[in-house]
Each structure stands twice: as C-alpha cells, then as structure tokens.
Amino acid sequence: MPWRTTDVDEQRMQFVIRATSGTERLSALCREFGISRPTGYGWRRRYQQSRTLTQISERSRRPHHSPTRTGPGQEQRVVALRKQTGWGAKKLRVLLREEEIPLPVRTIHRILERNGLVSEQAHGPALGRFQRGEPNELWQMDSKGKYPLQDGECHVLSILDDHSRYVVGLHALPELSGEKADPCLVATFRRYGVPQAMLMDRGSLWWSAWNGWGLTRLSVRLIEQGIRLLYGRVCHPQTQGKVERFHRTLGAELRHHGVPPRFAQWPAALIEVETRYNEQRPHEALGMLRPVERYRPSPQKYAEQVKPWEYAVGSDVRRLNSQGMLTEQGERWFICGALAEQRVRVERFDGKLLVSYRHMYIREVDLERRCSRALVVERGRGAEDAPVALRAPSASSAPETPQEPKEEV
C-alpha cells in the first residue's frame, strides 16, 4: 500500500513491529509502506539499539554545534532594539550596522521569529512611487483622528514633505477647525518656510462645497502666501499616499509606545514620534536613509504681513463685509464667507455682477433675477468629474488653479 501519514510515528511503530517479528521479508515491507529499503533498515536498527519504540520517531537534523550561530549578546541586542522601536528587520539592520553588529536581514528576522516578535500582516504589493524632485516643491497635509481621550478627543494634523518624507508639522488639535489649525500652520511656516504647493483631500477644513474653488478661511490664508493648492480626487486616498502611509506608521508608533490618555500629554508624545521618524527611522523608499538626510528648509519665508493683491488698473475693487457680503444698489449680496474682509474685483456684464478674488471668479450676481450663484463650469457627467472654477484676468502673477493633481503619489 502507498505511504499515508495520518500519524507518521504510528506508521513507523507498525513497520518496526512487523520488521522485527522475523516472519516477513524487509524488502516486501518497505514496498508495502512506500519507503526505501535504507529507511526501513534504519528504523529497525534504531529500535534494536534503543530497545524501545519511543526512540524511532523523527529526530532533529539540527547540528549539535553551530559555529556560525548568532551569539547570545547579538541576539539580545536585536530583541532589545525591536522592543524599543517596534521596527522590522530591514530598519533594525541599519541601527545594528551603526553599532558595528553586521547581521543580514534574514538573520535578524529569524531572531525576531524565534522570540515571538513577528506579527503576520498581509500587505499588498507596493505601488509605483512618484515623488517631487526637490524638498518643498510639494507638502502633503491631512488629519488623523479622532482619538477619544479621558478629557475629550485629539485630532492629529500631519504635514509631510513629498520629496524627503520629512514631517514638517505634527500637531495635536482638540477639535478639527480652522481656528485651531491655523496657528499650527503658521508655526510650521515660520520654522521651515513656505512650500510651492500643498496637496490635501476635500475635508471641510480646507475645502468648501459652497464655491467653485473650495475656498475656506484656511485655504485663503494659504493662497495669500503664494501657495498653489492641489486637492485629491474624491474617494481616492492613494492620491495622498505618502501622508496616508505616514499615518499608518504613526498609529504603529503610538500603539508601541502607548497612546496618551489625556490631551496635555499629546504634544510631547508627537514630538517624540516626529524625532524618531525624521532622524532615527530608516526609510525604505529613501534607500534606507533618514528623512532628515534628504530635507532642507524652504528659501521662501513666511510673510507676516501679506502684500495687497494688485488688480488691473481701473478695476472696481470693493471690500466684502465681515460676513463675506457685497453691497450694491443699497442691497447686500452674499459672495463667499471665506473671503470676509477681503478685497474683490467687481465687473458688470449683461445686468450681472462678476466678482473675482485675485485670479479666481467667485460669484455671479444677477441683479435682474435677484439671485447669486457660484461660478463653475461642469466638466462632464462622469462619476469622477468635478466642477472647474473659472479663472479671472489679473495684473499679478497668481497661484495656479487648485485642480486635482495629474499624478498619484
């Protein structure tokens, strides 16, 4: 009969019992059990030497002496670094090499497995990467939260440089609002300068569906600094892949080192995460360099006093009131809440008022029909099509249209 392994040790016992009875030929028994003759002779010899069936089970092939085995001191250091950082074998290899412990990645991984420090996680194949050529060409910004706390909640505002993966801003917010986020952005700009462009999702903090350009008070502040705004596609978080991937690392860091239970503890915890990520943690996408080795601050400094926008000579320039409304013929017309107290240009056309802010047409006021509407042009009827805001003529060089980026990052 063919060899079947419902219980291998039991099969061996049956073979040895019949082989030592002296009534059957060994070659015939080997054919019946589906094993080679040397294997059959070996099992019988093992029993004859020990005189007990408990000794015929499979023996370990591990050598009694392994001169190349990793020393206990090195293994202890691998385990200690793993517990300290929570990082995988590739990143630990960089740290060990700096301590003059040159262990291969496979050896480090085996040590982690032996000590029960490897958790099985299913990760899909890495997608093709895209990155800007220089630091500060593009920053990605997003919020992670909310974390429920004993005394409220915490939202984490993350700002990441696309080229270097350097975290330029990591802030704890008690609530996700422009009032709380604006000081954090100002502090980041004062420390690292101003980027050429920023990429964000269509969250309410920096995108409003009430106007064609998605203007909020926060996004207006960014535009005033000359920053080009880019918005990710709806339901496509991979557009901001780098900051999304950082948030996964942030979550792992907080779980490993402990999630602060109270809001007052969060700023210090985030400073520690930011330092480890920027200065200590090797990054695979950077050839195992640290982000700090690829980043430098922006030469464009933060403007404490924003210069007034220069509209074309002869333009009818008005200032909106504190509610973002325009007064015309003794009546008030809503233009844009995010543009409260801002200077806008007013053009007259076919019984209508065309209102623009900087390079952007914002609102059309129909004086005859007595209605006001946002100025947008529909792109098409596709599920992923979005309205395109109109561009107004301007005397100054203006930031580019905050459209969706063409490349996915």
Mean pLDDT for all residues in the chain:
79
Flag the least confident range among 42-46, 196-200, 314-318, 339-343: 42-46
pLDDT score at 147? 92
Of 8, 7, 15, 13, the residue nearest 32 (C-alpha): 15
For the stretch 203-262, pLDDT in tens is: 788 888 777 778 899 999 999 999 988 887 654 444 567 888 888 889 988 988 899 999
For the stretch 386-397, pLDDT in tens is: 445 666 655 543
Within 10 angstroms of residue 129's Cβ, the number of other Cβ atoms is 10
**Pairwise CA distance, residues 314 & 148, whole Å:** 55
Q: Where are the alpha helices (DSSP H) in 228-278?
A: 241-257, 266-275
Question: Per DSSP, which regions of 105-186 are E strands?
Answer: 139-149, 152-161, 167-173
Q: Kindly state the tokens that stand for 394.
A: 């301007």
Angle at which helices 26-33 and 37-50 pack, to 10 degrees? 110
For the stretch 110-121, pLDDT in tens is: 777 777 767 544
For the stretch 126-143, pLDDT in tens is: 344 466 679 999 999 998
pLDDT at 37 over 80: yes
Q: List residues bridging with 200 in a β-sheet.
A: 231
pLDDT at 277 over 80: yes
Q: Where are the alpha helices (DSSP H) in 87-177?
A: 89-98, 105-114
Hey, is 193 helix, strand or coil? coil
Given pLDDT bands bounded at 50, 70 and 90, which one contains residue 305? very high
